[in-house]
């Protein structure tokens, strides 16, 4: 069934594909977790990033603006929310959801739906709050920190909602991450000043304009004065950083 409310990504999703491209190292972690299972359901499928290309895949995505950005080569996709999947019981060998869980209106119901339609593993790529509660971006954008805290779920709670424990695979974010989600530029701080960059990140796009503008002013000032480098410059030599992102694998 199509969504009854206008999906958030119909408001903020235009231009998503200009900055959001599958990162090969994150893709590899997700594909390893999916194993050989098929067909695969991709929930919150967006423009098709991270969908395996060696087997049958079906996307489920509520936002028309996102569905319209799926390239012609992408898997077929239906307009649907996780909470109401138009598929039969165990219709899929595996399911995946990438950076989408924190957007669902009713996460427990969505997870129950994923379990219902999937016979094999349910694979989620998401940020857990426990391993790294906060990092430098939150210092500049406290509204982003609050938004993220309100959207994230503990591993214990997720496991309770799915009804089974998860295998947890840490995914450090590469210094040259090609997928522009909000942690992607942890060692490229100037990037956050670019509107095309922050518009592709819900955690910065959805905060009040005044909070975002104040954070941008402070970040710009600290980059110009050297204050950012004095405090965070030690990060610049790292090849990757654990910012709490994990692949979670539920089930067989």
Contact call for residues 224 and 210 (beta carbons, < 8 A): no
- How many Cα atoms sit within 13 Å of 240 on the Cβ side? 13
Other beta carbons within 10 Å of 228: 20
Residues 6+ away with beta carbon under 8 Å from 82: 43, 44, 60, 97, 100, 104, 109, 110, 111, 113, 114
Bridge-partner residues for 246, per DSSP? 126, 170
Closer CB to ligand SAM, 150 or 210, in the complex? 150
Closer CB to ligand SAM, 77 or 228, in the complex? 77
DSSP reduced 3-state for 248: strand
Closer CB to ligand SAM, 137 or 222, in the complex? 137
Helical axes 142-151 vs 209-225, angle rounded to 10°: 120
Q: How far is the CB of 208 from ligand SAM (least distance, A)?
A: 20
What are the residues binding ligand SAM (CB under 6 A)?
Answer: 7, 9, 20, 43-47, 49-50, 61-63, 66, 81-83, 98-100, 103-105, 110
Closer CB to ligand SAM, 68 or 236, in the complex? 68
Contact call for residues 21 and 76 (beta carbons, < 8 A): no
DSSP reduced 3-state for 184: coil
Question: d(Cα 65, Cα 136) in Å, to the nearest integer?
Answer: 31
Type and span of the H or E element at 94: strand 94-98
Closer CB to ligand SAM, 113 or 222, in the complex? 113
* Number of residue whose CB is nearest ligand SAM: 46
Closer CB to ligand SAM, 37 or 66, in the complex? 66
Q: How far is the CB of 24 from ligand SAM (least distance, A)?
A: 13
């Amino acid at each position: 069934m199509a969504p009854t409310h206008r999906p958030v990504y119909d408001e903020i999703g235009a231009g998503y594909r200009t900055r959001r491209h599958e990162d090969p190292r994150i893709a590899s972690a997700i594909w390893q977790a999916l194993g050989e299972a098929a067909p695969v359901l991709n929930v919150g499928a967006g423009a098709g990033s991270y969908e395996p290309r060696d087997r049958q895949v079906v996307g489920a995505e509520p936002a028309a603006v996102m569905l319209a950005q799926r390239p012609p080569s992408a898997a077929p996709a239906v307009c649907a929310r996780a909470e109401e999947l138009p598929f039969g019981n165990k219709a899929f060998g595996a399911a995946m959801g990438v950076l989408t869980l924190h957007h669902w209106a009713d996460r427990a119901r969505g997870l129950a739906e994923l379990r219902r339609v999937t016979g094999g593993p349910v694979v989620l790529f998401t940020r857990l709050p426990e391993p790294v509660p906060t990092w430098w971006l939150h210092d500049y954008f406290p509204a982003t920190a609050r938004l993220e805290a309100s959207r994230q779920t503990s591993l214990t709670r997720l496991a309770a909602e799915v009804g089974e424990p998860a295998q947890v695979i840490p995914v450090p974010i590469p210094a040259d991450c090609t997928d522009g989600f909000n942690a992607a530029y942890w060692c490229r701080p100037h990037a956050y000043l670019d509107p095309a960059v922050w518009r592709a990140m819900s955690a910065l796009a959805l905060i009040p304009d005044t909070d975002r503008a104040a954070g941008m002013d402070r970040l710009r000032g600290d980059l110009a004065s050297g204050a950012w480098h004095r405090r965070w410059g030690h990060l610049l030599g790292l090849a990757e950083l654990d910012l709490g992102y994990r692949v979670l694998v539920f089930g067989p």
